[in-house]
A and B are shown apart, each in its own frame.
Chain A
Amino acid sequence: MIEVRDLTKRYPGRTAVNGLSFTVDRGEVVGFLGPNGAGKSTTMRILSCFMPATSGTARVAGFDVFHEPDEVRRRIGYMPENNPLHLDMRVREYLKFRARLKGLGWGRSRERVDTVLQQCGLVDVERRIIGQLSKGYRQRVGLADALVHDPDLIILDEPTIGLDPHQIRAVRALIKGLGKRYTVLLSTHILSEVEMTCSRVLILHEGRILAADRTEDLERRLSLDSQVVAEIAATEASLTEAFRDHPEIERLEISAIDGDFRRVALTPRNGFDLRPVVFEQATAHGWTLRELTRSRRSLEDIFVHLTRKGNRTRN
């Protein structure tokens, strides 16, 4: 659906996107993840034909964004950063206007507006003036606008920015629902958002891709050295005895907490999941086990880890 090769965008004195290459297949929900200024919005603006790249090529649905912009625009539903809307218009009126701009005929635009109003939960506010709606509703209007011409690809630039937690959940659910039918490319700097909505993630930093992987693979890769922590009612000696000689345990730390309980932290060798081992030992010795967790690194950690590494090599 999207093929980007060696895409570079230079502004005077600054390189926003630096030799970016990636592909997105039909039906994927891909997240662009990166801090502010990483080049997410610039890449999206190039893909939506708002501005040209300095060098490199980008194709959407087989059409070149520079040479065949009209074909590309017809196939893209784009929600720009900060979701700009005509605040003086009413919801239905605005969507109708946008549908007409996108080349839909009278009957078809009416039909599509009805559909997206339903889809985005806007039926109750269709006659309200957009400027008087809450931010959550405005965001839904922006999404409805991106969907109104039934595009192949939806590009959303920071779709949940500035929303309260409740609204964020609603918008995320909506995006997740879109993934069934459309190809979606969204950008965010909130890491949990990618975990929740995207099947694949591209981590951007200073105009380059730092990592690209399926969301779960990325997490798995980084949970390899995750510790298992257990709280067990047993003496330190018996705990050491039980775990010391296990071949998969790299390191063992025991510390006393309240009452009879001890806190056991086990570091595995080669990413082995030690939770069953702890449970088996506890049942074998008849110990009381009150907690068993495996610390799982979030994308947050991955991100900090990767960007720190990037900085070090550059310095």
Chain B
Amino acid sequence: MRVFLTLVRRELGSYFKSFSGYVVVAAVLLLNGFSLVDLIERVRDHSVPTPVTELLFQTYYFWLVILLTSPVITMRAFAAEKSSGTYEALMTTPVGDWQVVLAKFAGTLGFYALAWLPLVGVLLALRQITGVAALFDPPIIASTFLGVLLIGSLFMALGCLASALTRSEIIAAMVTFLWGIGLWMAGYRPESSSLVPAWAQPALEQISMTRHMEDFARGLLVGRHLVFYVTATAMLLFLTQRVVQARRWK
């Protein structure tokens, strides 16, 4: 546990020791700023009061933030250490493969969560401006952030796996982006896509992240969704651990 925490601290710290961490936070803030402007417009247009969180995830900015930042956050996890050689120094200390994989994952997810934190401020500001407290129900905001975190953990695990497979950060980032956008598009309104055969629609609807997020933003905690994200993340981390371990296979 001690070693694990040391590793997580190092992972998180590395984002703020280089410029990249600040750039990512700035990008998330900028996109969230755009969505705030968009949101104010929508709140004004809606005659029926709709929770702000629900409106937020109907904007594309939200998905843009997730799809664009996840490759940038995760690409360094393994690839950078491999190309600089520090991976060899790390793996010749008495740390376990699982410790390394979980620490990398926790580091990326921690940073991701940190980058989203300012959104709480955005919502509070909105409440001040509009003065309609009913639109900012704390349990709904909590379930929304749980959704953001769960989707994030899936994307971070995806990125960790991609990063473990290569020593090039660019390849890691590109692969993460492709996997991420593929997964997202597969579940993006499958009923309205002419490419999707009818029999595949129910399955794709189950992994539709836009659907999941709608539920989370309404304050609905659906067991299916939770199970989907937790198992998918666990499976990806398991694959990552296998990749890390493969170095020692005979």
Given that A50-B91, A74-B94, A101-B90 are contacting pairs, would A88 and B18 also be in contact in the complex, using a CB cutoff of 8 Å? yes
We find that the number of chain B residues with CB closer than 8 angstroms to chain A is 25
Given that A52-B249, A98-B93, A102-B94 are contacting pairs, would A80 and B85 also be in contact in the complex, using a CB cutoff of 8 Å? yes
B47 at the interface (CB under 8 A from A): no
- List B contacts of A86 (CB < 8 A): 10, 14, 86
Across the interface, name the chain B residue whose C-beta is closest to A81. Answer: B85
Across the interface, name the chain B residue whose C-beta is closest to A80. Answer: B88
Task: Find residues 38-86 in chain A having any chain B CB closer than 8 Å to their own CB.
Answer: 45, 48-52, 54, 69-70, 73-74, 76, 78, 80-82, 84-86
A135 at the interface (CB under 8 A from B): no
Across the interface, name the chain B residue whose C-beta is closest to A54. Answer: B250
Given that A73-B94, A98-B93, A102-B94 are contacting pairs, would A82 and B85 also be in contact in the complex, using a CB cutoff of 8 Å? yes
- Residue among B17, B92, B248 making CB contact with A73, cutoff 8 Å: B92
- The stretch of B1-9, B174-182, B201-209, B232-240 in contact with A is B1-9
| A288 to B85 alpha-carbon distance, docked (Å) | 61
B84 at the interface (CB under 8 A from A): yes
Given that A52-B249, A100-B3 are contacting pairs, would A80 and B94 also be in contact in the complex, using a CB cutoff of 8 Å? no
Task: Find residues 40-69 in chain B having any chain A CB closer than 8 Å to their own CB.
Answer: none
Across the interface, name the chain B residue whose C-beta is closest to A83. Answer: B85
A158 at the interface (CB under 8 A from B): no
- List A contacts of B2 (CB < 8 A): 100, 105
Q: How far is the CB of B86 from chain A (nearest CB, A)?
A: 4
Contact B94 A70 (CB under 8 A): yes
Contact B6 A85 (CB under 8 A): no
Residue-wise interface mask of B (124-161) relative to A, using a CB-CB cutoff of 8 A (1 in contact, 0 not): 00000000000000000000000000000000000000
- List B contacts of A48 (CB < 8 A): 92
- List A contacts of B248 (CB < 8 A): 49, 51-52, 69
| A236 to B248 alpha-carbon distance, docked (Å) | 71
Q: How far is the CB of B2 from chain A (nearest CB, A)?
A: 7
Contact A97 B10 (CB under 8 A): yes
Across the interface, name the chain B residue whose C-beta is closest to A129. Answer: B17
Given that A70-B94, A76-B92, A88-B14 are contacting pairs, would A100 and B84 also be in contact in the complex, using a CB cutoff of 8 Å? no
A103 at the interface (CB under 8 A from B): yes
| A102 to B17 alpha-carbon distance, docked (Å) | 23
Contact A101 B18 (CB under 8 A): no
- List A contacts of B96 (CB < 8 A): 70
- List A contacts of B95 (CB < 8 A): 101
Contact A103 B94 (CB under 8 A): yes
Contact B10 A73 (CB under 8 A): no
Contact A101 B3 (CB under 8 A): yes
Contact B17 A88 (CB under 8 A): yes
Residue-wise interface mask of A (272-289) relative to B, using a CB-CB cutoff of 8 A (1 in contact, 0 not): 000000000000000000
A89 at the interface (CB under 8 A from B): yes
Residue-wise interface mask of B (9-27) relative to A, using a CB-CB cutoff of 8 A (1 in contact, 0 not): 0100010011000000000
- List A contacts of B85 (CB < 8 A): 80-82, 84
- Residue among A70, A85, A100, A103 making CB contact with B86, cutoff 8 Å: A85
Residue-wise interface mask of B (227-248) relative to A, using a CB-CB cutoff of 8 A (1 in contact, 0 not): 0000000000000000000011
| A48 to B91 alpha-carbon distance, docked (Å) | 9
| A54 to B250 alpha-carbon distance, docked (Å) | 6
A152 at the interface (CB under 8 A from B): no
Residue-wise interface mask of A (92-132) relative to B, using a CB-CB cutoff of 8 A (1 in contact, 0 not): 00000110111101000000000000000000000000000
A145 at the interface (CB under 8 A from B): yes
Contact B86 A49 (CB under 8 A): no
Across the interface, name the chain B residue whose C-beta is closest to A90. Answer: B17
B89 at the interface (CB under 8 A from A): yes
Most chain A CB atoms below 10 A, which of B85, B86, B93: B93
| A139 to B247 alpha-carbon distance, docked (Å) | 27
Contact A101 B92 (CB under 8 A): no
Task: Find residues 160-194 in chain A having any chain B CB closer than 8 Å to their own CB.
Answer: none
- List B contacts of A98 (CB < 8 A): 89, 93
Contact A84 B250 (CB under 8 A): no
Q: How far is the CB of B248 from chain A (nearest CB, A)?
A: 5
- List B contacts of A50 (CB < 8 A): 88, 91-92, 247
- List A contacts of B250 (CB < 8 A): 52, 54
Given that A50-B92, A51-B247 are contacting pairs, would A101 and B14 also be in contact in the complex, using a CB cutoff of 8 Å? no
Contact A84 B93 (CB under 8 A): no
Residue-wise interface mask of A (236-253) relative to B, using a CB-CB cutoff of 8 A (1 in contact, 0 not): 000000000000000000
Q: How far is the CB of B167 from chain A (nearest CB, A)?
A: 13
Interface residues, chain B, with chain A CB atoms under 8 Å away: 2-3, 6-7, 10, 14, 17-18, 84-96, 247-250
Interface residues, chain A, with chain B CB atoms under 8 Å away: 45, 48-52, 54, 69-70, 73-74, 76, 78, 80-82, 84-89, 97-98, 100-103, 105, 145
8 A-B residue pairs with CB within 8 Å: A50-B247, A73-B94, A74-B94, A82-B85, A100-B6, A101-B95, A103-B3, A145-B89
Sample of 19 further A-B pairs with CB below 8 A, known A70-B96, A84-B84, A101-B3: A48-B92, A50-B91, A51-B247, A52-B249, A69-B248, A73-B94, A78-B92, A84-B87, A84-B89, A86-B10, A89-B17, A97-B6, A97-B10, A98-B89, A98-B93, A100-B3, A101-B94, A102-B93, A105-B2
